[in-house]
């Protein structure tokens, strides 16, 4: 089996607490880039990368256009920009129209990352109050990647995890507190 190359995480309502439960568990031995789409208001302050950076061993930063992906770094989509992965494994930011009423959209990140990393991708759907991410996990599975979904019973808002579970048969449905330790087992 090909080793994993990247992790993408989609999260919405209740996302800050979910990310705080997962990302600080990943330490310097975690050799994969992590890309995060958290639904935010288009005019929100971009506090999330700094907030996470203080709490994480891994470096957390706002994603920048044309930036090459580095292992052990958490890239957070800026407010009002889609976060995408290009074929050369660099980041692209876009202000194209909203997908599922969202920009950034979980589907856009998952679909572009799936096309680049194929079976080397781990897609993680966490708490959220809409169905963004359901089309994305379908694409991750089509390209041979792994799908991990937060157990809806442990989600602050269960619509996103339930939509993902309806769209595909996830490889793993885990309670929130088990997702970080599980991801650690996947890093090279």
Instruction: Give catalytic residue positions.
Output: 12, 39, 132
> For the chain, first and last CA: distance in Å?
12
Nearest to 115 by CA among 188, 6, 25: 6
CA distances (Å), origin 182, targets 30, 148, 150: 12, 10, 12
Element (H, E) at 16: helix 15-22
Question: What single-letter DSSP state applies at residue 87?
Answer: T
**CB-CB contact of 81 with 106 (8 Å):** no
* Six-digit token string for 188: 């090279």
């Amino acid at each position: 089996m090909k080793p994993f190359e990247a992790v993408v995480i989609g999260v919405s309502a209740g996302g800050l607490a979910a990310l705080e439960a997962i990302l600080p568990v990943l330490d310097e031995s975690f050799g994969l880039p992590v890309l995060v789409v958290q639904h935010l208001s288009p005019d929100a302050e971009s506090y999330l990368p700094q907030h996470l950076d203080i709490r994480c061993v891994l470096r957390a930063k706002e994603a920048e256009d044309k930036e090459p992906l580095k292992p052990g770094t958490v890239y957070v989509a800026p407010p009002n920009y889609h976060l995408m992965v290009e074929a050369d494994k660099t980041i692209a930011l876009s202000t194209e129209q909203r997908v599922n009423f969202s920009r950034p959209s979980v589907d856009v990140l998952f679909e572009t990352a799936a096309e680049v990393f194929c079976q080397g991708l781990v897609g993680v759907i966490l708490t959220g109050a809409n169905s963004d991410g359901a089309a994305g996990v379908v694409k991750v599975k089509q390209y041979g990647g792994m799908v991990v979904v937060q157990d809806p019973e442990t989600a602050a808002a269960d619509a996103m995890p339930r939509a993902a579970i309806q769209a595909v048969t996830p490889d793993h449905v885990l309670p929130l507190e088990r997702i970080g330790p599980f991801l650690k087992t996947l890093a090279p």
